[in-house]
Structure 1
Amino acid sequence: MDAKVESNVRTVVPEEVETAAVSTIAIAWKKLRKNKGAIFGGGILLFFVTISVLAPVLAQYPVNEMRYEEALLPPSASHWLGTDEFGRDIFTRILYGGRVSLLMGLVAVAIAGSVGVLLGVIAGYYRKLDIYIMQVMDILLAFPSLLMAIAIVAVLGVGLTNAMIAVAISVIPSFVRVVRGSVLAVREKEYVESARALGVSDGKIIFKHILPNVASPIIVLATVQFGSSILSAAALSFLGLGAQPPNPEWGALVFVGKSFLTQAWWMTLFPGLAIMLVVLGFNLLGDGLRDALDSRIK
């Protein structure tokens, strides 16, 4: 019986689907390459990821080395982006801070995406559970994401790890709503109805037929939320609730620099520019991916 079912499912979903999927990826990549905004955004992200990974090679000074005789020096040949109140090189701290900020965004999106996709699929596929899951999500969406993150940190405690968890929880409802809407559309397709009528298990239907067809909006949302998560994590650090000194996270650098804004503007400007450019890069790339993966856009 199982062999017969599998044979029928292959008839309903033929092997040509794989070729079509490869063709779709090729078309999306071609459209993405033509999008100047997406290429520019991807270039920004590639630049910051590269310099963050190569921080030990590119850094001119130890990240936490204090030189009080060089405190608050403006940008110069010896210190490209100036120094802070302890004489630490700002360029070096931004390089290492990129590692922390990008990691925070990655962990937050990974957690939110995993939980959000799971709950979204359950809500979209199992209609009896839909109302309960979405009521919880609606309650969470009633709070501004940053305010919710602050409240979660207040409960969990101040720190880098708790900040990542807080940002992740605040992003989960966005993933749930997007995935649920996509699953509701896909679950009514003929090939899903045929597989269900043939007795294929829900697990196989979800993983083989539904998830591959809702991957596009998930990828786009994850890209955009990556930038938003970095911004939220930086905001928490700026408020003193995230990364703590001497951790060179970008939001924490801006927080320290605000106390010296009139004396050493570079302490705030350059970390702030790094945050702005990375978030801009993710937004541009996300818009490009949305246009490339949307079959309705020619």
Structure 2
Amino acid sequence: MHTLRRLSRNGAVRTGAVALAVLALLGLLAPWLGTFDPSAMDSAFVSVPAGTAGEVTLPDGARLAHTFWMGSDSVGRDVWSRVLYGTRVSMAVGLLTAAVAVGFGCLLGMLAGYFRAADAVLMRVMDGLMAIPAVLLAITLVAVLGASLPTVILAIAVPEIPRVTRLVRALVMGLRDEPFVEAARALATGNAMILWRDILPNALAPLIVQGTFIAASAVLTEAILSFLGLGLPSDVPTWGNIMAEGRVQFSQNPGNVLFPALFLVPTVLAINMLGDGLRDVLDPKFSKRV
């Protein structure tokens, strides 16, 4: 309860959490707020400016009065609806990438930090992965495995795993000789139980903070990959895809690039603010300073 009270008093945590809650709500309500199929095209409304209103033709041939609040792209798709549905993709990529990276990194880090024999092998593999630029490794994985949501999540998570592994390894090495661990060994407690019950809870706070920064990086990396045409297929509404399609006509219709960017920037900023606030509260070194 004391930790929850401290979190609720932290301005960065409150601001980041509220902003992310609003963005998540916009994504969940996209079918109702979007008011138009994000994949539907109408040749009569190609690259129209924001605020244009008219009757669009639905796939079944029916006519519907519609306002393009953020304009349309080069094939007549509603940018507002695509940006809202893109919120879903970005949130999913950030959350799932952080979960995959933290999960695998935590497992490998505990093995490397607790078992000295595994340390030499695992850390050399991690060092090799860290020697490859993260974006280059992600591009390679997407090119080899094909463009899909699971592939993009895996491609972004793999470069983050070595960083989490090194963090957890350092934490475990500092804890494995503590008196409470020695006492557990003296009671013939198995290594798996010691790692799960005694060591992991003491490493959770730094892992949570690291997970938020990974989520922010994943949202940005997905947008970069999609903008370069190496992420999700172009028919999937993502902020990177919308900006990539809009850059061709940026001088005539800059909204196709600026509007998704206005969602991307606050999302990354909110996640980073949440991570900074969690670090201030959960990390003993920073909490003492605060």
Superposed CA offset, 1:137-172 (max 9, x none): 111111221111112222223333322211111111
CA distance in 2, matches of 1:143, 1:275: 26
Secondary structure in structure 2 of the residue aligned to 1:243: coil
Q: Which segment drifts farther, 119-128 or 56-65?
A: 56-65
The match for 2:57 is none
Higher strand share: 2
Superposed CA offset, 1:226-245 (max 9, x none): 11111111111111111112
Residues 130-169 of structure 1 aligned to structure 2 (within 5 Å) = 130-169=119-158
The match for 1:128 is 117
The match for 1:116 is 105
CA distance in 1, matches of 2:93, 2:143: 18
TM-score normalised per structure 1 = 0.88
The match for 1:82 is 71
Q: Which segment drifts farther, 151-160 or 44-53?
A: 151-160
Superposed CA offset, 1:116-155 (max 9, x none): 1110010011111112111111111112211111122222
Q: Pick from 63, 84, 88: which aligns with 2:38?
A: 63
Q: Pick from 221, 226, 229: which aligns with 1:237?
A: 226
Shift of 1:199: 1.0
Native 8 Å contact 2:246 2:254 kept in 1: yes
The match for 1:207 is 196
Structure 2, unpaired ranges of 5+: 53-66
CA distance in 2, matches of 1:241, 1:63: 21
CA distance in 2, matches of 1:193, 1:27: 29
Secondary structure in structure 2 of the residue aligned to 1:246: coil
CA distance in 2, matches of 1:155, 1:63: 28
User: For residue 53 of structure 1, what is the amino acid of its counterpart?
Assistant: L
The answer to whether the aligner puts 1:42 opposite 2:31 as a matched pair is no
User: For residue 50 of structure 1, what is the amino acid of its counterpart?
Assistant: L
The match for 1:271 is 260
The match for 1:198 is 187
The answer to whether the aligner puts 1:251 opposite 2:240 as a matched pair is yes
Shift of 1:52: 0.3
Native 8 Å contact 2:97 2:214 kept in 1: no
CA distance in 1, matches of 2:14, 2:70: 27
Shift of 1:34: 2.2
Residues 277-288 of structure 1 aligned to structure 2 (within 5 Å) = 277-288=266-277
TM-score normalised per structure 2 = 0.90
Structure 1, unpaired ranges of 5+: 1-25
Shift of 1:99: 1.1
CA distance in 1, matches of 2:36, 2:115: 56
Shift of 1:286: 0.3
Indicate the percent of aligned positions where both proteins have the same amino acid.
40
CA-based RMSD of the aligned residues comes to 1.4
Could you list the structure 1 runs, at least 4 aligned residues long, displaced by more than 6 angstroms after superposition: none
The match for 1:32 is 7
